[in-house]
Chain A
Amino acid sequence: AQSVTQPDIHITVSEGASLELRCNYSYGATPYLFWYVQSPGQGLQLLLKYFSGDTLVQGIKGFEAEFKRSQSSFNLRKPSVHWSDAAEYFCAVGAKTSYDKVIFGPGTSLSVIP
């Protein structure tokens, strides 16, 4: 069965600083990988996804993520954080062979200091 870990429960960065959120997954085959963002009181919005091909994927709002099979990781990055990026970020893994179930990590809460 697939699983996801996000080692950082909470991260605080200054506005304009770079950001990296970590995600590690466990799955026996090539996974489908996702990053979602949740603003307070809102539903989840897809930032980006990886299925195959280029291991560096670009998403919305200036985010990117890199799939590293050898490290079972899919870390999310942004070169310059904006105050509006403060939110909860979830990494998720899907597996087509498991009836398309998508399993989420516990989330990382991001705070941005002006």
Chain B
Amino acid sequence: NAGVTQTPKFQVLKTGQSMTLQCAQDMNHEYMSWYRQDPGMGLRLIHYSVGAGITDQGEVPNGYNVSRSTTEDFPLRLLSAAPSQTSVYFCATTNTGATEAFFGQGTRLTVV
């Protein structure tokens, strides 16, 4: 049982490049979310989804797009990377009722 799988684990991008961070879960959870973690800021919610075909913005959505075509996958897209998007990104799933969030191992992204 893999839980929540994020790929890649590390990535270096040049300013202006685009890329997709992948997140897959095998827990059959409806709710999925993306956070970014920056020193002294904790985890900030970027986007979330309450089910296939439904997404919404979190605290810091600018510069990021998401889609949810299946229950299992919730990719995060950076359309034009900026140095301010250098961060560690975490994908999480939550069972209905928010009883617990399960996190992936994170993706460390550096934009130069």
B98 with A9: CB separation less than 8 A: no
Residues of B within 8 A of A32 (CB): 98-99
Of the residues B40, B96, B103, contact of A100 by C-beta under 8 Å: B96
> CB-defined interface of A38-53 with B at 8 Å, one 1/0 digit per residue?
0000111110010100
Interface secondary structure of A, over-half rule: strand
Interface secondary structure of B, over-half rule: strand
Whole-angstrom distance between the alpha carbons of A100 and B45 in the complex? 12
- Min distance, Cβ A60 to any Cβ of chain B, angstroms: 12
> CB-defined interface of B64-88 with A at 8 Å, one 1/0 digit per residue?
0000000000000000000000000
Q: What would be 20 A-B contacts, judged by CB atoms less than 8 Å apart?
A: A4-B42, A6-B42, A34-B101, A36-B101, A43-B103, A43-B105, A44-B43, A44-B103, A92-B101, A96-B97, A99-B31, A99-B50, A99-B56, A100-B31, A100-B98, A101-B45, A102-B92, A103-B59, A104-B43, A105-B42
Scoring A6, A96, A101, A106 by chain B CB atoms within 10 A of each residue's CB, the highest score goes to: A101
- What is the total number of residues of chain B having a CB less than 8 Å from a CB of chain A? 27
Residues of A within 8 A of B61 (CB): none
From 46 to 62 in chain B, residues with beta carbon under 8 angstroms from any chain A beta carbon are 48, 50, 56, 58-59
B40 with A9: CB separation less than 8 A: yes
Residues of B within 8 A of A42 (CB): 105
- Min distance, Cβ B59 to any Cβ of chain A, angstroms: 8
With A49-B99, A96-B97, A99-B56 known as contacts, the answer to whether A104 contacts B105 (CB < 8 A) is: no
From 5 to 64 in chain A, residues with beta carbon under 8 angstroms from any chain B beta carbon are 6, 9, 32, 34, 36, 42-46, 49, 51
**Which 8 residue pairs spanning A and B have beta carbons closest together?**
A94-B98, A106-B42, A104-B43, A43-B103, A100-B98, A104-B42, A44-B103, A107-B42
Whole-angstrom distance between the alpha carbons of A95 and B31 in the complex? 13
- Min distance, Cβ A19 to any Cβ of chain B, angstroms: 19
From 32 to 49 in chain B, residues with beta carbon under 8 angstroms from any chain A beta carbon are 33, 35, 40-45, 48
A67 interface hit (Cβ, 8 Å): no
